């Protein structure tokens, strides 16, 4: 099985990010000194340390510091159970502010933020990783931030870095336009950077395709849209996506590339309902085809399917893989100092009949925590997590983890 690394978690080298951070801080002096109305600048972030103890099960060592059920190793493939880890990867640093653009004109808002959680080629390392970098002027936004297909507010108050597997979670490069906005609702559209997650399945079992090469073909950007309404009671948000999920393949290096594509689409409905004084019920259901790249954990956008006449292969085609994601969490405040979050989530794909038996099928995720806030900007707490990975052939394994976290937040406004 040949899987292509999805690009939602790409990271650059630390030296490049350090230069960018220092460059952004150069503007602090002029901002502080300026007396121009409507100008603001804020430095914010937090230092966080996580002690993680696996009680049962074993994850891919590059993912010891995040609880991703899709990374659970089956049949002891990664070694013995019960690993321990200490990490500062969740620690975060950011700057944001507002700059005037002239008399009577709409100001420019900007944000630059990174954490230390290495992914992609830096998986398992503590390295600077971009989260947000964008500017927004009136109804126009350009840069990297949350995809319109995503509802960040359904993310529960957990201390695990990755969070529930069944939610849409993707910070993407985009050009965004908001043609309609009021105090309580908006409608927004965008084109976003494409990125396909392709599973070549059992193609290499076919005579003549033993050395087949399969790669992404991204000829068009993804189109996303979002409608949201909110009030004191909470909010409801509907996100949609339409995308061309393309591929290129060749039987061997001497062959010509053959291309093809399928239409990917999805609908994501999220809601938060405020209850009691400070509690919240967080819900989300997402369904679509070829949308796994936008999910928090698990799945594939495109995979081969086959037709058979008895045992003889008679047809082969690509399929945008159907996917369902569900999230249900409850955040509760016991009093001013103590809070808890408990819930369950899952991602499940409808595998094609020509995928490898070991291909991903489902990721279950459940967690519960107890958090203490001894003073302003301080938090300590513990969380119990359970997850299960199930493959296409029905084989599964689960993991149980405990995490203890201490977090110290800061912000300075100029």
DSSP-assigned letters across all residues of 22-87: HHHHTTHHHHHH---TT-EEEEEEEEEEEEEEEEE--B-GGGTTS--GGGBPSTTTT--S--EEEE
CA quadruple 18, 22, 24, 25: dihedral positive or negative? positive
Strand partners, 352: none
Which position has the token pair 């001894």? 374
Residue-level pLDDT, tens digit, the chain, 414 residues:
444 444 444 444 455 555 555 555 544 444 444 445 689 999 999 999 999 999 999 999 999 999 999 999 998 889 888 899 999 999 999 999 999 998 888 999 999 999 999 998 898 899 999 999 999 999 999 999 999 999 999 999 999 999 999 999 999 999 999 999 999 999 999 999 999 899 988 888 888 888 888 998 999 999 999 999 999 999 999 999 999 999 998 988 888 998 999 999 999 999 999 999 999 999 999 999 999 999 999 899 999 998 877 676 777 899 999 999 999 999 999 999 999 999 999 999 999 999 999 999 999 999 999 999 999 999 999 999 999 999 999 999 999 999 999 999 999 999
| Dihedral (CA of 115, 280, 294, 50) sign | positive
CA–CA dist 202, 18 (Å, integer) = 43
**Span between the terminal Cα atoms of the chain, in Å:** 53
Question: What's the 3-state SS for 116-144?
Answer: EECCHHHCCCEEEEEEEEEEEECCEEEEE
Closest CA to 75 of 409, 389, 401: 389
Please name the residue that has the structure tokens 């394994």: 397
The structure tokens listed for 162 are: 């990755």
Q: Give the C-alpha separation, 410 to 48, whole Å.
A: 11
Distance CA 390, CA 367 (A): 18
Q: Answer whether 325's CB lies under 8 Å from 284's CB.
A: yes
In a 10 Å sphere around its CB, with 0-12 CB exposed, 13-18 middle and 19+ buried, how is residue 88 labelled? middle
């Amino acid at each position: 099985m040949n899987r292509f690394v999805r690009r939602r978690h790409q990271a650059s080298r630390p030296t490049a990010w350090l230069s960018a951070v220092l460059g952004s801080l150069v503007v602090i002096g002029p901002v502080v000194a300026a007396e121009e109305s409507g100008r603001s600048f804020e430095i914010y972030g937090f230092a966080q340390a996580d002690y993680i103890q696996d009680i049962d099960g074993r994850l891919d060592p590059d993912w010891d510091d995040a609880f991703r059920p899709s990374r659970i190793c089956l049949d002891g493939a990664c070694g013995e159970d019960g690993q321990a880890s200490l990490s500062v990867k969740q620690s975060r640093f950011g700057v944001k502010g507002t700059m005037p653009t002239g008399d009577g004109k709409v100001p420019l808002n900007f944000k630059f933020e990174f954490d230390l959680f290495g992914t992609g080629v830096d998986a398992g390392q503590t390295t600077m990783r971009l989260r947000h970098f964008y500017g927004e002027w009136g109804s126009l936004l350009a840069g990297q931030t949350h995809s319109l297909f995503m509802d960040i507010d359904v993310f529960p108050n957990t201390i695990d870095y990755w969070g529930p597997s069944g939610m849409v979670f993707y910070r993407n490069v985009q050009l965004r336009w908001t043609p309609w906005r009021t105090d309580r609702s908006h409608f927004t559209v965008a084109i976003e950077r494409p990125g396909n997650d392709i599973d070549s399945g059992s193609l290499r079992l076919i005579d003549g395709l033993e050395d087949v090469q399969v790669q992404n073909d991204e000829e068009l950007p993804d189109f996303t849209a979002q409608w949201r309404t909110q009030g004191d009671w909470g909010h409801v948000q509907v996100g949609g996506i339409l995308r061309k999920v393309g591929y290129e393949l060749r039987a061997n290096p001497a062959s010509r590339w053959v291309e093809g594509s399928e239409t990917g689409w999805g609908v994501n409905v999220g809601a938060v309902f405020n209850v009691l004084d400070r509690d919240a019920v967080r819900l989300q259901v997402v369904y679509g085809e070829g949308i796994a790249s936008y999910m928090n954990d698990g799945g594939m956008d495109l995979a081969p399917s086959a037709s058979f006449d008895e045992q003889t292969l008679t047809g082969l085609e690509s399929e945008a893989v159907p996917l369902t994601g569900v999230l249900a969490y409850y955040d509760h405040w016991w009093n001013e100092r103590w809070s808890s979050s408990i819930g369950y989530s899952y991602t499940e794909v409808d595998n094609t009949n020509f995928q490898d038996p070991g291909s991903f099928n489902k990721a279950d995720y459940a967690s519960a925590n107890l958090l203490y806030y001894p003073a302003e900007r301080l938090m300590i707490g513990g969380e119990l997590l359970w997850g299960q990975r199930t493959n296409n052939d029905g084989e599964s394994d689960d993991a149980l983890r405990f995490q203890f976290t201490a977090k110290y937040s800061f912000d300075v406004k100029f």
